[in-house]
């Protein structure tokens, strides 16, 4: 195993609030030493990190790796390659596969396969209900024993409040976070984008903001009553931010994430019927977008997650209403977030950015990640925060190329990514 000495970087470790120019030694797969003026020892590879951040590997708690069953969209290997290219060292994969990850055997299988096939660490979010049909809660004890870190029906949100309440009670008993995509299907049925001026102009059916907020309120009320940890996925509405703020103030165990695309884009991106701008929840209004930014700045929104959702070109080539929801995000997330941050009147600090993308998401899902502590496994990313680069989908590692950021000039990129001290990505 190779050892490394990372020199002259800006070390950012939100776990200890450390922001300092220093060097980092990686030895035997672990973080061995941190300090100024470290000199490479015999056999160590020197990496000059001048102008770069040295941060704990990024953690994406919301990705779709599509295995088993949909390997034409993505695999554990290609999804993992996309992750490390984007600076991510740990990801949490969602259970809406074919078949869904609703039993311990499948959870074991994906974990074991990911260990062999994926260059990044993969944690499994199991289903919340059997077959993700929203009717019968899963066996949470068995799922937890098999190594699931949370439960979610993501794209198939539980519609019955009674079932959700029972699922929360069950998950609370085994300390499993309940991770929810909040959508009242009676309000969003048949919609392919946000309901607003753009959908009216295009003649497309839209989903109102209330399709999200009605379920945020319901789930938060149930979480408060059952005591379970509720994590809300991909918040997309201004009122959603206010609801999370309210329930946090009430003392509910509630956390939430926002996706980079909801921070940068609005429903105007759908104007040319570009199916790469079709995702669920949909891109919303400028008012919503600005409220999400404020939610991040005020700490109401806890972390950033991509909802990396690969789809093959032939699937996205369908007419807008028929095309599947979702975009890839692992390789553009960092560049999008740093671009977005550079446009803010009061940008977040580098430490805050790393916290949003690594330390806090790791803490929320209780993953052994998000820290540069000496002795910890060396999951490390070296980021060039100022590098401007153009998104070329054909150069992506992901099997799918469905991104609305094609041709965009983003800001910031992972130069080197280490997982357990192994260099798994080095930018050209």
**Cis bond before residue 236 (omega within 30° of 0):** no
Q: Which residue is nearest to Zn ion (CB)?
A: 181
Does 184 help bind Zn ion (rule: CB under 5 A)? no
- Which x/- pattern, by CB under 5 A, does the window 13-52 give for Zn ion? ----------------------------------------
For the bound state, the minimum distance from the C-beta of residue 168 to Zn ion, rounded and expressed in Å, comes to 18
Residues from 288 through 347 that contact Zn ion (CB under 5 A)? 307
DSSP letters spanning 251-314:
T--EEEEE-HHHHH--GGGGTT--GGG--SSPP--HHHHHHHHHHHHTTSS-EE---B----HH
Residues from 136 through 155 that contact Zn ion (CB under 5 A)? 154
Does 73 help bind Zn ion (rule: CB under 5 A)? no
Whichever of 326 and 370 has its CB closer to Zn ion, that residue is 326
The CA-atom distances, in angstroms, between 371 and each of 15, 304, 358 are 6, 17, 8
For the bound state, the minimum distance from the C-beta of residue 17 to Zn ion, rounded and expressed in Å, comes to 31
The CA distance from 64 to 215, in Å, is: 22
Does 7 help bind Zn ion (rule: CB under 5 A)? no
Q: Active-site residues: which are they?
A: 307
Strands 422-426 and 409-419: antiparallel
Question: Exposed/middle/buried for 276, CB within 10 Å: 0-12, 13-18, 19+?
Answer: buried
Does 401 help bind Zn ion (rule: CB under 5 A)? no
**Which one of the spans 49-57, 181-189, 313-321, 360-368 is the region binding Zn ion (CB under 5 A)?**
181-189
Whichever of 7 and 181 has its CB closer to Zn ion, that residue is 181
For the bound state, the minimum distance from the C-beta of residue 306 to Zn ion, rounded and expressed in Å, comes to 9
Quote the distance between the C-alpha of residue 154 and its chain's center. Answer: 13
Is the sign of the CA dihedral 121, 303, 308, 404 positive or negative?
negative
Whichever of 181 and 411 has its CB closer to Zn ion, that residue is 181
In what helix (H) or strand (E) does residue 114 lie, and over which residues does it extend?
Answer: helix 104-117
The CA distance from 201 to 294, in Å, is: 29
3-class secondary structure, 184: coil
Torsion of CA 139, 212, 205, 158, to 10 degrees: 20
For the bound state, the minimum distance from the C-beta of residue 233 to Zn ion, rounded and expressed in Å, comes to 5
The size of the interface with Zn ion (CB under 5 A), counted in residues, is 3
The CA distance from 204 to 283, in Å, is: 14
For the bound state, the minimum distance from the C-beta of residue 105 to Zn ion, rounded and expressed in Å, comes to 23
The CA distance from 138 to 296, in Å, is: 33
Whichever of 240 and 350 has its CB closer to Zn ion, that residue is 240
For the bound state, the minimum distance from the C-beta of residue 97 to Zn ion, rounded and expressed in Å, comes to 12
Whichever of 29 and 324 has its CB closer to Zn ion, that residue is 324
Taking CB under 5 A as the criterion, the residue among 10, 66, 121, 181 binding Zn ion is 181
Whichever of 181 and 261 has its CB closer to Zn ion, that residue is 181
Which is nearest to 274 in space by CA: 407, 116, 96, 418?
A: 407
The residue ranges that bind Zn ion (CB under 5 A) are 154, 181, 307
């Amino acid at each position: 195993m190779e050892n490394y000495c990372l020199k002259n970087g800006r070390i950012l470790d939100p776990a200890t609030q450390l922001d300092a120019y220093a060097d980092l030694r990686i030895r035997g797969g672990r973080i061995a030493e941190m300090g100024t003026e470290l000199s490479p020892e015999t056999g160590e590879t020197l990496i000059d990190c001048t102008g770069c951040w040295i941060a704990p590997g990024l953690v994406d708690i919301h990705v779709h790796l599509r295995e088993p069953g949909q390997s034409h969209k993505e695999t554990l290997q290609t999804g993992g390659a996309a992750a490390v290219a984007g600076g991510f060292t740990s990801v949490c994969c969602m259970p809406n596969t074919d078949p869904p990850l609703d039993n311990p055997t499948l959870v074991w299988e994906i974990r074991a396969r990911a260990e062999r096939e994926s260059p990044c660490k993969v944690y499994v979010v199991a289903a919340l209900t059997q077959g993700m049909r929203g009717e019968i809660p899963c066996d949470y004890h068995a799922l937890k024993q098999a190594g699931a870190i949370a439960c979610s029906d993501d794209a198939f949100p539980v519609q019955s409040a009674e079932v959700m309440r029972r699922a929360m009670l069950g998950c609370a008993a085994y300390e499993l976070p309940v991770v929810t995509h909040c959508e009242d299907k009676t309000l969003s049925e048949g919609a392919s984008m946000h309901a607003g001026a753009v959908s009216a102009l295009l003649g497309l059916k839209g989903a109102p903001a209330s399709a999200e907020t009605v379920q945020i309120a319901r789930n938060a009320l149930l979480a408060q009553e059952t005591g379970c940890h509720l994590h809300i996925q991909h918040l997309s509405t201004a009122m959603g931010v206010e609801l999370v703020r309210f329930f946090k103030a009430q003392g509910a165990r509630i956390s939430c994430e926002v996706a980079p695309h909801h921070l940068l884009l609005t429903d105007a991106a759908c104007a040319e019927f570009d199916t790469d701008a079709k995702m669920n929840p949909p891109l919303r209004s400028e008012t919503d977008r600005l409220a999400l930014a404020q939610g991040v700045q005020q700490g109401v929104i806890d972390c950033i997650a991509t909802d990396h959702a690969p789809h093959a070109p032939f699937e996205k080539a369908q007419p807008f209403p028929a095309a599947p929801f979702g975009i890839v995000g692992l390789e553009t997330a960092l560049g999008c977030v740093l671009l977005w941050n550079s446009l803010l009147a009061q940008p977040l600090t580098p430490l805050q950015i790393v916290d949003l993308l690594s330390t806090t998401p790791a803490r929320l899902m209780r993953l052994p990640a998000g820290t540069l502590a000496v002795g910890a496994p060396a999951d490390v990313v070296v980021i060039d925060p100022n590098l401007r680069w153009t998104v070329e989908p054909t150069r992506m590692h992901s099997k799918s190329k469905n991104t609305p950021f094609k041709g965009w000039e983003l800001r910031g990129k992972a130069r080197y990514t280490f997982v357990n001290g192994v260099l798994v990505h080095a930018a050209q």
